[in-house]
Amino acid sequence: MKYEAIVIGVSAGGLNALKTILPTLPHDFKIPVIIVQHEHASSDDFLAHYLNDRCMLTVIQADEKIKISSGNVYLAPPNYHLLVEDDKTFSLSIDEHVNYARPSIDVLFETASEAYGNKLIGIILTGANSDGSIGLKEIKKRGGLTIVQEPSKAEVATMPSAAISATQVDYILPLEEIGPFLCKLEENL
């Protein structure tokens, strides 16, 4: 099976988690990565610049109507829900908060699962609420691959634990093993 996109949801402890996983992905990694990191509404684009300086892939903030393509890591902008359209472009929304968050992981995961179906990989990392658990369940229901950070090793275990409670997760991995695992999946495409 060929995977066409990876979605990652992360909250408290996210900077450390992302700087562990993303630099392990090589410059020719074929699967685009789309991330919701819970941030304060007034945050700037520090996270994109910080990660871009440490990664071989290009890390940018997602924007309206950008075509999703390989070689890129897209971050949801602060205070906007990030949605994936059927034509594999982004749209942004200022709809109400979902799970106390905007951007919401569930919104990204649910719209991405509609667009990519069984060709989507969903990953839940460290975080302090249950955002993402409903979306991960939707990815699993549509035949996508689901991965959750090992809760006992997460900086904050609430989000990974909620995801594991919500659905039958395919893989529960320590943070350090997620990047190499994605690379092995991508090599087999």
The reply to whether 38 belongs to the active site is yes
The reply to whether 113 belongs to the active site is no
> 11, 113, 133, 161: which one is catalytic?
11
Which residues partner with 33 through β-bridges?
6, 73
> 38, 81, 130, 161: which one is catalytic?
38
> 81, 104, 113, 131: which one is catalytic?
131
The reply to whether 131 belongs to the active site is yes
Which residues does the annotation mark as catalytic? 11, 38, 131
